[in-house]
Amino acid sequence: MALSTACKQEEKVEVSFPYGVKYEVFVMAFADSDGDGKGDLKGLTQKLDYFSDLGVNGLWLMPIMPSDTYHKYHVTDYKGIDPDYGTMEDFKTFIAEAHKRNIKVISDYIINHTGDKHPWFLESIKGKDNPFRDYYVWAPKDSVEMLQKEEVAGPDTDNAQRWHEVPGDTSGEMYYGYFNGQTPDLNFDNLKVRQEIYDAAKFWLEEVGVDGFRLDAAKHIFPNNRAADNHAMWEEFRAEIQRIKPDAYLVGEVWSDSKTVAPYLKGLPSLFNFDLGYLITDVVKAGNDTIGLVKKYKAINDYYTSITPDFLDATFVKNHDQLRILSELEGNIEKAKLAAGILFTFPGTPYIYQGEEIGMLGLKVDMDRGQRESFIWAEGKSDPLQSNWYNAGFSSDKTVVPFSKQKDDPTSIYNYYKKFIAFRNSSKELTMGTIEESGLQINEVLNFVRKYQQEERFVLHNVSDVEVTVQLTDDLKRFTSLAFETKGASFEAGAITLPAYSTAILK
């Protein structure tokens, strides 16, 4: 059944950035303008209307700087564009066209490390006296053994070998690379390194025109035993960016628990909420166990806001480092829709990972290529901009209904996303409001109240595989009509009936 909405009677509200929905783009896998199989900036520019139609107002581009890796996280030039993607002029054109559509552009900025082919590192390995030696973290081999014993793998890397040798090196030293030997960590104790990073940021913000940065691996600017230095560094970084461009948007990746995340908020008031992604996934997989979820989320959210009043939660279900949500849900499209619906009704600024909205599949295989396959525009090669950079067989026109077919199908997952985003964009309660427990505890129905100023909405998600009827308490009977529903919910006489895997919003 198609989505229905009663929001036509409500005042149309255009959500402002950064409160709208954002979209994570892997350029390589999106749209190919020159037929080489690899997505590029010209192709992305030609597809900008896709994002406007979907309703997003911000694009986070995974790295586009020169790199010797497919994913571009091993940067070799902080002021360039990778030739796979095009030229700097292509990127400037893309930004200008995005801005015409009121879409902001957020660039991935990798400052924890460079690639080992970066000119700075190639100079650094030449010897202790090289002026670029201190751009990286070096230590005598005999002191590294004890340091290495303290290292363990983490959620953002399965690698625990942090100290690396340069083949043929005679200096007696090893360099630090948190992720691996191909990503040597920059030395932020060196003020020259900090200035290089700020100069590059200024270049992208002022000369190129990006609207902000997604900060990769923010927890690892300094080694794990120097957390306080990490926190201070990001406060300094934020001050520098605000001096360059006061309205620049910053969002950071600190893949950890809330206690570890919290001190980063003074420098990065918007951080990706990994915990919420796990909670949404778990509750949809289980089909119950909703009691306490809102209380847990609200406690963390209130804690973060107490640290940074301008805290803005960056929410998502999955990203490019994780298996795709539809694969984790064993191909159940209705569950995948519901996961998105929960995301869109929680506070914060939700991010969609490229292809989620058409039900792409993917597992973490072959250096994470498995969850980064090409967006499926149409069957075969009928869309001239179809990228074909890699094929693991998870997402193809045989396993995923192409966008060209979904766009005209009111029951498709694409139209579920599109209509839900449109409703969210029209609601200040959902885009900017607080979240409150409703007092109603039903194991199969996740429910809560969203409030903005004096306006409220009551949100209900049936996470089970059976129809559920909910009797409103006397207090909740202040909600008297159906504002939005996804699968034919009915509401009368203080009771709402929710089909399996469905959402309803009352006003």
Helix (H) or strand (E) holding 445: strand 445-452
- 266: nearest Cα among 233, 310, 312, 235: 235
User: Do strands 173-176 and 163-164 pair parallel, antiparallel, or not at all (unpaired)?
Assistant: antiparallel
Amino acid 93 reads T
For 178-181, the CB contacts below 8 A with 24+ separation are 178/112, 178/113, 178/217, 178/220, 178/223, 179/113, 179/217, 181/116
Nearest CA to 372 out of 357, 386, 382, 360 is that of 360
φ/ψ (deg, to 5) at 60? -95, 115
Q: Is beta strand 4-5 parallel, antiparallel or unpaired with respect to 482-485?
A: antiparallel
**Is residue 253 annotated as a catalytic residue, yes or no?**
yes
Catalytic: which of 32, 216, 313, 328? 216
Report how far residue 115's alpha carbon sits from residue 474's, in angstroms, rounded to the nearest whole number: 61
Rounded to whole angstroms, the Cα distance separating 45 from 307 reads 39
Round to whole Å and give the CA distance between 116 and 473. Answer: 62
* Angstrom distance (rounded) from CA 395 to CA 277: 22
CB-based contact 336:475 (threshold 8 Å):
no
DSSP H stretches of helix in 30-167: 41-46, 48-54, 88-100, 119-124, 141-149
Q: Backbone dihedral region of 448: left (phi > 0), alpha (psi from -120 to 50 degrees) or beta?
A: beta
In 3D, which of 388, 433, 312 has the Cα closest to residue 29?
Answer: 388
Q: Which of 32, 253, 334, 383 is catalytic?
A: 253
Distance separating alpha carbons of residues 505 and 3, to the nearest angstrom: 12
| Cα 382 from Cα 387, distance rounded (Å) | 12
To 5 degrees, how large is the angle CA 489–CA 494–CA 500? Answer: 25
Do residues 250 and 215 make contact, with C-beta atoms less than 8 angstroms apart? yes
Q: Which helix (H) or strand (E) holds 361?
A: none
Q: Is 275 a catalytic residue?
A: no
Are residues 215 and 251 in contact, defined by beta-carbon separation less than 8 angstroms?
yes
Q: Percent helix, strand and coil across the chain, each rounded to 5? A: 35, 20, 45
> Which residues are known to be catalytic?
216, 253
